[in-house]
């Protein structure tokens, strides 16, 4: 394993080896796979890094950043509560919030809604937050305004549930998502307590523990991530099994990784294991 002092000079050769290992792991698979790995020093390795792929619930990460921006600009605290109508608590979707409170009119703090959305990937909480900021357009414009034009947020969770084809419209390239993670970690998280709160949610995310988390290694000091998981498409393939995150190592280095597995012909366990293997390869060199 490289020592810190060697990292800058050996980064190019490491990138070549990592990419070769990633190609070996991903080629010939019955899925469309996008991988991007960046470090605090710069780009490292990508596989199909510029191919747009469906985000599924990964988009709850950039949405959370948009919610923070909206609240900052409008003098809203995360402790402020908002009304939730019973009609917003759909029964045909994944929602720990609905399971806890039942289908009834509620008033909950924005912080709790973000926790449900980011930590637990709650679809109803996500759509309530879209209603708060005025829809997907606000989140999309905010992310594009930051310079991440390859990330597209156009459909709510309810929209995607009604028309699974819209899952493909909510897309990102692996490279763009890894860059957004790096921007968040390096520039946003310490700029406001709201972004710090989002980081705390990423770092306590309870979904997808068999994906990146399984492969990142024992030297990790900080790990924050967001998963995305889709239904099966008309061909019987899983639309998306994704995990994206940032890693702080004990040696002081940081890296950012996005793995998208789209239209997977494998089951959920096999698809998740592929993400874990990618993470293991990367961790072995960093």
* Residues with catalytic function: 57
Q: What sign does the CA torsion over 236, 260, 156, 123 have?
A: positive
State how far the Cα of 34 lies from the Cα of 59, in Å rounded to an integer.
16
Phi and psi at residue 188, in whole multiples of 5°? -90, -45
Residues 6+ apart with CB under 8 A from 157: 93, 123, 124, 126, 127
Q: Is 167 exposed, middle or buried (0-12, 13-18, 19+ CB in 10 A)?
A: buried
Number of residues in the chain: 286
């Amino acid at each position: 394993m490289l020592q810190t002092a060697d990292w800058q000079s050996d980064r190019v050769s490491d990138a070549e080896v990592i990419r070769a290992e990633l190609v070996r792991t991903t080629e010939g698979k019955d899925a469309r796979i996008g991988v991007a790995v960046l470090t605090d020093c710069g780009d490292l390795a990508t596989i199909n890094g510029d191919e747009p792929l469906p985000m599924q619930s990964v988009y709850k990460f950039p949405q959370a950043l948009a919610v923070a921006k909206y609240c900052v600009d409008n003098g809203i605290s995360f402790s402020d509560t908002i009304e939730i109508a019973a009609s917003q608590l759909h029964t045909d979707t994944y929602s720990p919030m609905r399971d806890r409170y039942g289908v009834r009119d509620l008033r909950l703090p924005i912080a709790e809604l973000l926790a449900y959305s980011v930590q637990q990937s709650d679809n109803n909480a996500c759509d309530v937050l879209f209603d708060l900021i005025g829809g997907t357009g606000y989140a999309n414009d905010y992310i594009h305004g930051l310079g991440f034009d390859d990330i597209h947020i156009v459909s709510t969770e309810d929209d995607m549930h009604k028309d699974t084809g819209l899952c493909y419209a909510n897309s990102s390239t692996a490279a763009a998502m890894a860059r957004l993670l790096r921007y968040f970690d390096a520039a946003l998280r310490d700029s406001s307590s709201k972004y710090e709160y989002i980081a705390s949610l990423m770092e306590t995310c309870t979904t997808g523990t068999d994906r990146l988390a399984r492969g990142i290694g024992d030297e990790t000091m900080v790990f924050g991530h967001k998963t995305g998981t889709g239904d099966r498409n008309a061909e019987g393939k899983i639309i998306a099994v994704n995990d994206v995150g940032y890693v702080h190592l004990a040696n002081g280095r940081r890296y950012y990784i996005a793995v998208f597995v789209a239209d997977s012909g494998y089951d959920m366990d096999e698809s998740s294991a592929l993400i874990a293997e990618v993470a293991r390869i990367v961790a072995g060199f960093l």
